[in-house]
Chain A
Amino acid sequence: MASLLQVENISKTYTDKNYWFNHRSKTVLQPLTFELNAYQTLAIVGEIGSGKSTLAKLLVGAESPSTGCIKLNGQTLDNGNFKQRCQHIRMIFQDSGTTLNPNLTIQQLLTEPLELNTQLTVDQQTVLIQHTLQQVGLLAEHMNFYPHMFSGGQKQRISLARAIILQPQVIILDEALASLDPSLRAQMINLLLDLQQQMGLAYVLISHNLGIVRHLSDDMLVLENGRVVEYGKTSQILTKPTHYYTQKLIINQHLQLFKK
């Protein structure tokens, strides 16, 4: 059986068109291949400039890959076809507060993806929005509120609601947990795990906090300067890192510090 998400030899090179005769180009992502199944989480770990955000952009279709292809359920995702991709692959950003339009109520915010991607009537939309808000632990009445009326943790829940309202199959979390306070982060982790169980979601988790990576993910991909240095089961990599770079990352975080 084919995996839910198959990425084959995907790479990204930026060329500077200002130089006509000698094209200057920079490869930010070397060809890489991975697979992801439903109910699974893949963590992408690396430093700034390692290409992890570029990979996320390629997956959601914000950038087109230089080589390789992305397959969802065995079907190739075309670059221009956003209708197909928006439904199935959604993304949550680090700073959720700034991704919500301050002029719109939560209802208007959540209606937008529905109008663009579905043929639901207004009543059906309202019901779905209320249901989704309850799913992420907010109240149905919250849909008449504006983004500034919410706290940071609640805003993150709203952007999660916006991601799951189209019943996607893959959600990309680009440092989505980094800016949250510890007690809210634990709530968010629990919520993400719940939703994964209920809806069979696959997550692509981009994070530099190895504690969260260890807890949430099944597989792990370590990137260094756009090159994959390690790919495998999270538990294996964290207990027996083979590459020097991964070892350094683990030592830096003092993962073994709090052995009780």
Chain B
Amino acid sequence: MNLLDIRNLSIELKTTDGNIRAVDRVSLTMKEGEVRGLVGESGSGKSLLAQAIIGVLDERWIVHADRFHWRNQDLMLLTPEQRKNIITKDVAMIFQEPSSCLDPIKTVGKQLEEAVADQQLSGFFWQRKQQRKTEVVQLLHKVGIKNHEQCYHSYPYQLTEAFCQRVMIAIALAKKPILLIADEPTAAMESKNQGQIFRLLASLNQLKHMSILLISHDLENVTHWTQTITVMYSGQFVEAGTTEQIFAHPFHPYTQALLDSSPNANILISAKAKLTALSGSIPLLKHLPIGCRLGPRCPRAQKECVIAPKTQNFHGHQVNCHYSLKDEH
């Protein structure tokens, strides 16, 4: 069963010069128990998409979609209040730079206690405090913090970035979510800590059967941990498929370029050789090209690319390109 089913979601920003389409017809499906990577460079709208899913965009943004289903329930038809109830119960999100997301003037324990809802506790009011504390300690154990007493009484500035991220994950786990959206959870972390956080997320996925949407700007970082990947560029959908499909046979010139430009993925090319890189840079929201937004940078661009391509599906491998690389492989 599809947990999340989004078709042609667009997000527009209201400005005085008319609306700017920051996210343009993006589709995303997530099955239960799936780890999906959402990859795109900065300004590709991946964080906007995540914010649209949990519904925290303010009134400056207009969200519309052909289909926006959460467990076969159309979220677009619900009132904001009903929608909030569903989302807060089932979806949790963690952010990049965890130390800046935590409240600097409260201890970690107090912040964790806030996340534990009253409904989760059974017992009389005088037992609540103790129960809440046990719950918090259990949460800390779940995310691999053994020394819970010290962590409970620490302020965020006393903990390292990786520990703060663990606390963030613990807060997210308090409601026992079905879907966890991780927005660049390991940005500005070292490889050792990155590995720890990713292993923690992977074990949560395995043991608790929790689906994870892993957002990252770097394709090479997430591939080891994901089963399926969606690639975005400048607010447009590029390609989606299983990790093997994306890696072995990328159909879109952009995905191909991403793979070619990564020294990690090209272990066979000799050191100090030139990497193939796309020329130019990511377009700004103010100056978006019409049609396929990769057009001006794309090595395969032709006249037709000024019209936005339709998504084609080859055995679950979706690609959004007029001149895909499908026949080249």
Point out residues on A near B: beta carbons under 8 Å.
Answer: 47-48, 151-154, 181-187, 189-190, 193, 208-212, 214-218, 234-235, 248-249, 252-260
Contact = CB atoms under 8 A, between A and B. Distances in A.
B42 A257 contact: no
Interface stretch (B62-70, B73-81, B130-138, B265-273): B265-273
Contacts of B273: 215
Contacts of A211: 220, 262-265
Contacts of B271: 214-218, 234-235
Contact of A193 (B192, B248, B269, B274): B274
Interface in B272-288: 272-279, 281-282, 284
Contact of A186 (B248, B268, B276, B282): B276
A215 B279 CA distance: 20
B111 interface: no
Contacts of A153: 281
B191 A183 contact: no
Contact of A189 (B190, B260, B275): B275
Nearest to A189: B275
A217 B190 CA distance: 20
B258 interface: yes
A182 B223 contact: no
Interface of B: 41-42, 190-192, 194-195, 217-220, 223-224, 247-248, 257-258, 260-269, 271-279, 281-282, 284
Contacts of B42: 152, 181
B261 to A, nearest CB: 3
Given A182-B262, A183-B277, A260 B223 contact: no
A183 B224 contact: no
A214 B272 CA distance: 9
Given A186-B278, A253-B264, 13 more contacts: A181-B217, A182-B217, A183-B258, A186-B262, A186-B276, A187-B279, A190-B275, A209-B264, A211-B262, A211-B263, A215-B275, A252-B192, A258-B266
B277 A187 contact: yes
A154 B284 CA distance: 13
Main secondary structure of the interface of B (DSSP, over half): loop
A190 B273 CA distance: 8
A137 B243 CA distance: 35
Given A182-B217, A183-B258, A258-B264, A208 B272 contact: no
B277 A190 contact: yes
Contacts of B276: 186
Contacts of A187: 277-279
A181 B194 CA distance: 18
B191 A255 contact: no
Residue picked from B195, B272, B276, most chain A C-beta under 10 Å: B272
A182 B267 contact: no
B268 to A, nearest CB: 7
A208 B191 contact: yes
18 contacts: A47-B190, A48-B190, A151-B284, A181-B42, A181-B217, A182-B220, A182-B258, A184-B281, A186-B262, A186-B275, A209-B264, A211-B262, A211-B265, A215-B269, A216-B271, A217-B271, A253-B264, A257-B224
A256 B268 CA distance: 10
B192 A47 contact: yes
Contacts of B282: 151, 181, 183
B298 to A, nearest CB: 12
Closest 8 CB pairs of A and B: A211-B264, A186-B261, A186-B277, A215-B263, A181-B41, A211-B263, A186-B275, A258-B265
B167 to A, nearest CB: 19
A234 B270 CA distance: 12
Contacts of B248: 260
Residue picked from B191, B258, B265, most chain A C-beta under 10 Å: B191
Contacts of A259: 267
A48 to B, nearest CB: 6
